[in-house]
Structure 1
Amino acid sequence: MGQWLLLLLCIGLVDCAYKRWLSNTNFGNPANWNAGRAPCGNDVAVIHDESAAVFLQVNTTVKQLLMPMNGEVVFGSDVVLGFTEQPDHSASCTPYSSNVEFNVTYPRDWFDSNNWCETDSETGDCKTIARLDSEKVPCMNDDVVYPSGNSFYVNLETGIDIKVNTFKITGKAYTTTSFQSFLSTDQGKGMFPLPNNGQRSSVTIQRRPCNDPTGCMCGNNKGEVLNRVCVIQRKRCTKAQCRTPLKPVGHCCDLCGGVAVMKFGSGFRFDTLVNGIRRNLIDGKPEYKDVQVITSKISEDEIQMVLLDTDGVRASQLTREIAKEVQNDINAGGFKYSVLSVRVDVSSGGGSTGPISSAQTAESIPNGEIAGIVVGGAVVVGLLIVVAIFVYRRKQSPTDELGFKVFDKISFKKPNFRKPRVEVPPSFGFRFGGPENVGPSQGFDNPMYGNNPLENEKPMDMEIMPSSLGLEQEEQPTFDSSRGFDNPLYDSPPLNESMFTDPSVVEKTSDLGSRPTSFVNPMAMVEDNPQT
């Protein structure tokens, strides 16, 4: 599936953890000379005062060699350095207009990732694998190799505890104690010079390979080690080609893609997770062929999976699929991966989603949905405010002063049905007896409920709500000037008494039977006949 998949398979495996030093001070290394090639018979080779010891590993001929008083050239076994005044016409000895100068005038940094390559063995070819910046330099479980047949000039810096698994220099293995002794020798001082303050960083050689089935932590993803790595690496960062880049744990530059951090529990195996993700989501899908995957153990119970590509679109999509795959297993009990939780960040689509709970997977919310949520929330809040104002005014003011009388006109009745009504003009009233010297009133006493004069100055509408049965057969009330109104709901006999008295006078009495009954209220629905 590609070289990047090797990373998924090699994390935690000892035979995949060799870091070999690349820089050297060899005379024959073209990168060590300002002409871009090693000196030849036509050149004057110049070694400056600040230069490291130069290792001459093959027979060489030059026109002249200029060295400082404290300069050093180390000869390999049976190697000869010759001088000539004859022109060199070989194809490798191209003309150069001035002296050829040795340019290794300062030690190369241990924490510079350009000085290291990852290999499958001590002498194997360097592998091109996506790595976090902190993992490009030796981790605490890596085997460090300074290859044979070379000389080196290394800056260990100061104030840092460097931890590695094993340490070999030109084929010789060292322990923590023996390496410390080597640093006190002339060869050791020439290879690992003292910093300006005279105190090198300590090197601890653990000799404890990682066989943990949950994976191996690098140990460089935080603290001073990461700071030193990023001081160098940030100068090489390129601008990310996405709007919202990410910076994973252990990395110095912004990336486009996604990050999934998984917290695991008992029974977790690194290779089970990696192989399951590869088999279920990556294999056979050409759309993910350019997505690089970096999987690392970043703490005692967390795995970080970083997915990146140029613009982050495909990597973000794959990150969401991985999160969904893992979350589905969590919801089912976690028997496949033994992962307890997963949280995701993605660079595409405008941002991150934060942590994923045990009940959901994380995905970015599109900007349109966010706008809809905001507008909908504003509408709901506005409606709540209107309702609150209505309730507050209703509590603080009488009902008839609220100005909502439009609701009084609402009638839930069948269309085109006209309710029968009896209108009482303002100058016309009814009474149930009493003196005639009381001033005019536009109300009347309900004989069944007591005195409650109406204050409305408009004509009072008296409505009779028809029954749903027999509407066409119902007899409407008639007005007879001689004896008044008949109650259409009761079979009341005609009254002989005079119906009309002073409409403004209502006589109150506790004995209803003693009143002269001149009018039967058509709106009163009582059990007993009010006429005695």
Structure 2
Amino acid sequence: MGALAAPGGLLLCLQLCELTRAGYKIWVPDTDFDTADNWSQNRTPCAGAAVEFPADKMASVLVRAAHSVSDMLLPLDGEFVLAAGAGFSAAGASSDSACGAGAAALFLDPDRFSWHDPRSWRPRDLTHGLFSVDAERVPCHHDDVVFPPDGSFRVDLGPGARALRVRSVWALGQKFTRDGDLAAFLTSRAGRLRFHGPGALSMEPEACADRSGCVCGNAEVQPWICRALLQPLGGHCPPATCHDALRPEGQCCDLCGAIVSLTHGPAFDLERYRARLLQDFLALPQYRELQAAVSKVPRPPQSREATGAGTDTEIQVVLMETGPRTGGAGQLAKALLADIAEHGEALGVSAATVRESGAPVGGGPAAWLVGGITAALFLLLLVLPAGALLLHLTGRLRWRRRDAAGPVSFPNPVFGAAGSEKQPPVSQADARSTSQSYFVNPLFSESEA
């Protein structure tokens, strides 16, 4: 056991101030004793509870408060880091049934948190209306990685097929920017308690200096990213809610919306375009149910051939539908095309293309309206003849054959035959041609007519 290693709040503030101009990701999950999600009963152990840690796992566990336990089974290797006022005391076994009397509180597997899981990370700023594709939610090559110094953690570095490259790593109050220094830390006892697995970390010391942005560089590890993200879903993507769903570059599953691909020049400024998209478009009421992701991605070879553009990258603008209403992404995509047609040269954009997803699965409001009208007409055509036949069988409606030599007249369904206009004379040939016609007045029987 030992004292808390760093004055967390002040150190973290200094770290974040230094990283203000850099893109970076902050590690989210922890192995703290006082985090309810780390326990089998989804709550911290009650007073007098028996506590059990996995015997074959290593972990560094931060304890923030005082706890009384009846029994504690410790792992073969690990450490407790005690905050001020934290500690353990012995107590009799709890008899409170609400605390699961008799059942030990099990500390969940500390090895379950993966570097490749997008849910394990968050960016510094969570701007409303913006999101990142799945591959860019995990640290990119030019990102700074921050592990909060006032918490305990454990990270699975993955299978080791590809080295994980980042610009720098902050851990336990230290900043690592050189491969040798980081490797020495990872092989130390403190490093082994917090990082495990065959994967390796290496440094990409250069920051992204291109104002048009830099490609994330996670394409090679995207299969591991998607596997970690979809593990709770059995490894399968949820079905898209629209036809012809889209799969943006870097995304694990299909989504509904639109993708605008921009051919950019050296004058393009990625952050300036993001700000323009937020302020001039996403802030409008008709687009508030949309989210956008803007990043530089590799340009597909077929796209380079089609456009004749020499650059091997493009700007991907993903517009995702998030609300019940649909069609907003397509409208915004057209508005962006019009904006580029007018201001493209000033923005550093020379060309743009759009792809849109299809109609909602099961049909939207318009499809329901058309379907309802069609069903009503079909029902009407089906019910009227059946009703007429029923009236005829009950004697309330009789059919009669017109005189073969007589004129043909059309009853007025509202006023009966007496209310119809006088018809012109009919020739013998016409009479013969219509002698087999039958007419039914659906509102009046023969006697009433």
TM-score range, shorter chain: 0.5 to 0.7
1:50 aligns with 2:49: no
**Cα offset, 1:17, TM superposition:** 2.4
> Do structure 1's residue 245 and structure 2's residue 245 form an aligned pair?
yes
**Among 349, 356, 360, which residue is 1:339 paired with?**
349
1:92-133, Cα deviation, whole Å (9 max, x unpaired): x9521411111125341100011111224xxxx998952200
Distance 1:277 1:74, change over 3 A: closer
Matches within 5 A, 1:447-486: none
Q: Is the 8 A contact 2:290 2:319 kept in 1?
A: yes
- Aligned equivalent of 1:63: 70
Partner of 2:317: 305
Q: Give the counterpart of 1:191 among 191, 194, 201.
A: 194
Q: Shift of the alpha carbon at 1:52?
A: 3.2
Residue of structure 2 equivalent to 1:216: 214
Give the deviation of 1:174 after TM superposition. 1.4
TM-score (norm 2): 0.65
Q: What is the one-letter code of the residue matched to 1:132? A: V
Q: CA deviation at 1:138?
A: 0.8
Greater fraction of residues in helix: 2
TM-score when scaled to structure 1? 0.55
Give CA deviations for 1:26-69 in whole Å, capped at 9, x if unaligned.
Answer: 2111111101111232200011223332414223221111224x
The equivalent residue for 1:135 is 136
* 3-state SS in 1 of match to 2:100: coil
Task: Give how far 1:272 is off.
Answer: 4.2
Q: Which structure has the bigger radius of gyration? A: 1
CA displacement, residues 274-324 of structure 1 (integer Å, 9 cap, x when unaligned): 4444555444x3111111111111146411000011465111221122123
- Work out the CA distance in 1 between the residues paired with 2:279 and 2:28: 35
Q: How far 1:23 moved relative to its partner? A: 1.6
Paired position in structure 1 for 2:330 = 316
Match of 1:106 in 2: 111
The alignment yields a C-alpha RMSD, in angstroms, of: 2.8
Matched, 1:165 2:172: no
Q: Distance in 2 between matches of 1:336 and 1:54?
A: 53
Aligned residue in 2 for 1:368: none
Q: Which residue is equivalent to 1:227?
A: 223
- What CA distance in whole angstroms lies between the structure 1 residues aligned with 2:320 and 2:128? 19
SS of residue in 2 equivalent to 1:303: strand
Q: Aligned runs of 1:67-86 on 2, under 5 Å?
A: 67-68=74-75, 70-76=76-82, 79-85=86-92
Q: Which residue of 1 aligns with 2:176?
A: 174
The 2-side partners of 1:142 and 1:118 are apart by 10
Instruction: Please state whether the residue corresponding to 2:346 is helix, strand or coil.
Output: coil
Q: Map 1:253-272 onto structure 2 (within 5 A).
A: 253-272=253-272
SS across alignment from 1:216: coil
- 1:263 touches 1:303 (CA, 8 Å); kept in 2? yes
* Contact 1:141–1:164 under 8 Å retained in 2: yes
The answer as to whether partners of 1:316 and 1:348 remain within 8 angstroms in 2 is no
Q: Would the aligned equivalents of 2:49 and 2:93 in 1 still touch at CA under 8 Å? A: no
Amino acid across the alignment from 2:91 = T
Alpha-carbon distance between aligned partners in 1 of 2:95 and 2:25, rounded to the nearest angstrom: 39
Partner of 2:37: 31
The alpha-carbon deviation at position 137 of structure 1 amounts to: 0.9
Distance 2:137 2:30 in 1: 18
Q: In the alignment, which residue of structure 2 is the partner of 1:96?
A: 100
Q: CA deviation at 1:328?
A: 4.5
Q: Give the match's secondary structure for 1:297.
A: strand
- Given that residues 40 and 63 in structure 1 are in contact (C-alpha distance below 8 angstroms), is that contact kept between their aligned partners in structure 2? no
Secondary structure of 2:54's counterpart equals coil
Deviation at 1:214, TM superposition (A): 1.1
> Kindly, what percent of the aligned residue pairs are identical?
26
In the TM superposition, what whole-angstrom CA distance separates every residue of 1:333-376 from its partner, at most 9, and x where no partner exists?
x42222122121100359xxxxxxxxxxxxxxxxxxxxxxxxxx
Provide the rounded CA distance (Å) in 2 between the counterparts of 1:260 and 1:290: 18
Local SS of the residue matching 2:226: helix
Name the aligned partner's letter for residue 183 of structure 1: L
Q: Which residue of 2 aligns with 1:288?
A: 287
1:206 maps to amino acid: E
Q: Is the 8 A contact 1:28 1:57 kept in 2?
A: yes
Q: 1:296 to 1:349 in 2, by over 3 A?
A: same
